Amino acid sequence: MEHVDREVQKALVRLNDALCVWERATGRESVLILREVGGFICRSVNGKPIILNDITDSQLIVDIIKYA
């Protein structure tokens, strides 16, 4: 799902790109979850968007912590 504000959408893409580079360089991992009132949802793991709706936010976080 894309954000209705083009600048916000571009910023999310840049953030995910930066997270990918940072994580490759450091070996760290991350979960990014942004939820807005009105239905916009952006979720990514290690800088890669997660489109699957059958995985809860909590499960994404638990999975990263488990392997940290």
**In a domain? residue 28:** yes
pTM of the predicted model, to two decimals? 0.84
The total domain count for the chain is 1
**In a domain? residue 1:** no
Could you state, in chain order, the average pLDDT of each consecutive group of 10 residues for the chain (68 residues)?
Answer: 94 96 93 94 93 88 75
**In a domain? residue 27:** yes
Environment class of residue 45 by beta-carbon count within 10 Å: exposed (0-12), middle (13-18) or buried (19+)?
A: buried
What CA–CA distance (Å, rounded) separates 54 from 26? 29
**In a domain? residue 43:** yes
**In a domain? residue 20:** yes
Instruction: State the residue range of the domain holding 59.
Output: 6-66
pLDDT at 68: 56
pLDDT at 63: 80
